[in-house]
Chains A and B, each alone.
Chain A
Amino acid sequence: MAKESKTPVILSLSSGKGGVGKTSLTVNLACALAQKGSQVLVVDGDMALANVDVLLRFTAHKTIRDVLERGEDPMKAVIFVEPNLGVLPASSGVPEMVDLGPAEHVLLGNILSSIVGHFDYVLLDTAAGIGSSVLWLNTFATHNGVVVTSDPTSITDAYALIKILSREYGRKRFFLILNSVATPQEGQQTFDAIARVAEQFLGIQPQYLGCVPRDNVVLKAVQEQLPFVKGAPRSKAAEAVVELAERIRRFKRE
């Protein structure tokens, strides 16, 4: 275990739309960061329909719900899938965990604050949609990652999320990740379109973190419950994720 009181980069990964590959991307980014020797924590922020445990093939015995409702020690709920890669799992099939109330968010904030100091990078994998917990996790993060595909519905939903976070929550710095792109040009063009509209209508300048190509290893990794960064390290997708991790390592800590 690392010493406490680091100042971690807390990166949220949201998308508005579901099915764009947030959880898969989060898990692989976490592995890539951990491979570089950093202490990494993944928080399964989809607190009612958790999936991180599925993609990493482990069974959670204690979840965020136990910590919130029964006051369990949060570090005891963290499962270390690698010595330096921990996961704070969430419950699945618990409707009342979909959108926590303000008091629970305050509590969750205290819980997360008490453990993030053990890590260099904390990745918050949020649920789809723009529910209160998604928005709250984004305000808890130091950096807001937005996962988008070039699908028009994904673009619209990502923009809607950015608009709410900037208008209602004063968030200004967004990092866009284009997932599942046919070509790097497609990724860049999609980013350019969103960035242009965000600049024109919201007065903010999202940054381009990069893109991950459409690659069969991604689907295979989900089937096999083994992150492609580990299972297929030489694949294009894995190389792209390692590149993203490198850029995240250059984030300024605050």
Chain B
Amino acid sequence: MDQRDDAVISCPEGKSGCPVVAEIRRLKEQLETLKKEYDRVSRLTECDPLTGLFNFKHLEVSLQREMERTRRTGFPLSLIMIDLDHFKKVNDVYGHQVGNAALRWVGRIWRNGIRITDILCRYGGEEFTLILPATSLKQAVLAAHRLRTSLANTPLVEEGEEIRLTASFGVEVYKATDTFSADEFLKRADKYLHQAKAEGRNCVRSMEDSSAGGETEVLPEERVALFITRWPKL
């Protein structure tokens, strides 16, 4: 409690050791404690206790809200689904305690690599989800690459042993003109995550890698094809 608070609740008759003032101070302190407790408990309902990242429930709520925001503002919303590679092996070889330490480690590294507006969640098990508001697919793919390299380059050290962790990433974008649901959004990102797993892990996959979509610039071969019949045959 600061000086000003104290001044506000000093005894109007100037009595020192006034029991009423003492009681008010006690109540204010109690209120502070309760506020802190309330904050702690509300964080618990939206946080994963192991990693301190947001939990699945918060992911669901945030995703709905951000999709609505995209429909209103038009800014694209990106979503990254992440799965740690061969995580079962970490558990099998080093035990579950090290496995848990690894999950905490991953959370700590990635939390430092994202913007304050990004929402990093533990989806469950060794799966994570990153929601990137106002972010295009291109930017989101770059962000996924940054997360991928930061993890791959920073091994976890447990009992003097270096444990190298990598992860696979699937990236999808939601635009104001899209009409699919939050569930479908997660499924689509998950599809690219599966593709990343299938294509060797420790990599990023998105629509940018498939031939449909992506670049819109008219290519030289398209220009040639447009006018081929006009040009004299050589």
Collect the chain A residues with CB atoms within 8 Å of residue B218's CB.
Answer: 156, 159-160, 163
Docked complex: A151-204 residues within 8 A CB-CB of B? 152, 155-156, 159-160, 163-164, 167-170, 189, 193-194, 196-197, 200-201, 203
Interface of chain B: mostly helix, strand, loop or mixed: loop
Contact B74–A193 (Cβ < 8 Å): no
User: Which of A101, A155, A168 lies in contact with B226, CB distance below 8 A?
Assistant: A155
Chain A: interface residue total (CB-CB under 8 A): 25
B233 beta carbon closer than 8 Å to chain A = no
**Interface-side segment among B20-28, B187-195, B208-216:** B208-216
Whether B223 and A156, one on each chain, are in contact in the complex, defined by CB atoms closer than 8 angstroms, is yes
Give the CA-CA distance A65 to B19 in the complex, in Å. Answer: 67
Pick the residue among A101, A139, A170, A197 that contacts B222 (CB under 8 A).
A197
Show 25 A/B contacts (Cβ-Cβ < 8 Å), sorted by A.
Answer: A101-B74, A103-B72, A105-B74, A106-B71, A106-B74, A106-B176, A152-B227, A156-B223, A159-B222, A159-B226, A163-B216, A163-B222, A167-B215, A168-B213, A168-B216, A169-B177, A193-B227, A193-B228, A193-B229, A194-B226, A197-B226, A200-B225, A201-B219, A201-B221, A201-B222
CA A101 to CA B72, docked complex, whole Å: 11
**A19 interface contact, C-beta 8 A:** no
Is the CB of A83 closer than 8 A to any CB of chain B? no
Report the minimum CB–CB distance from A202 to chain B (whole Å).
9
Docked complex Cα distance between A170 and B180 (Å): 13
Binding site for B on A (CB under 8 A): 101-103, 105-106, 139, 152, 155-156, 159-160, 163-164, 167-170, 189, 193-194, 196-197, 200-201, 203
Proximity bits, B153-192, A CB within 8 Å = 1, else 0: 0000000000000000000000011000000000000000
What chain B residues lie within 8 Å of A193 (beta carbons)? 226-229
Contact among A101, A102, A189 with B229 in the assembled complex (CB-CB below 8 Å): A189
10 more A-B contacts (CB under 8 A) besides A159-B218, A167-B215?
A: A106-B71, A106-B74, A152-B227, A164-B216, A189-B229, A193-B226, A193-B229, A196-B225, A197-B226, A201-B221
Are A201 and B225 interface neighbours, CB within 8 A? yes
B75 touches A (CB below 8 Å):
yes
List chain B residues, Cβ under 8 A from A170: 177
A201 to B74, alpha carbons, bound, how many Å? 28
Taking CB atoms, residues of chain B closer than 8 Å to A189 are 229
Q: Would you call A106 and B227 a contact (CB within 8 A)? A: no
| Chain A min CB distance to B172 (Å) | 14
B121-134 near A? 1/0 per residue, CB < 8 Å: 00000000000000
Question: In the complex where A101-B74, A102-B73, A159-B222 touch, is A167 in contact with B227 (Cβ < 8 A)?
Answer: no
B213's closest neighbor in chain A, by CB?
A: A167
B206 nearest CB across to chain A (Å):
15
In chain B between 44 and 86, which residues have their CB closer than 8 angstroms to a CB of chain A? 71-75
Kindly list chain A residues whose C-beta atoms are within 8 Å of the C-beta of B72.
Answer: 103, 106
In the docked arrangement, what's the CA distance between A40 and B76, Å?
Answer: 34
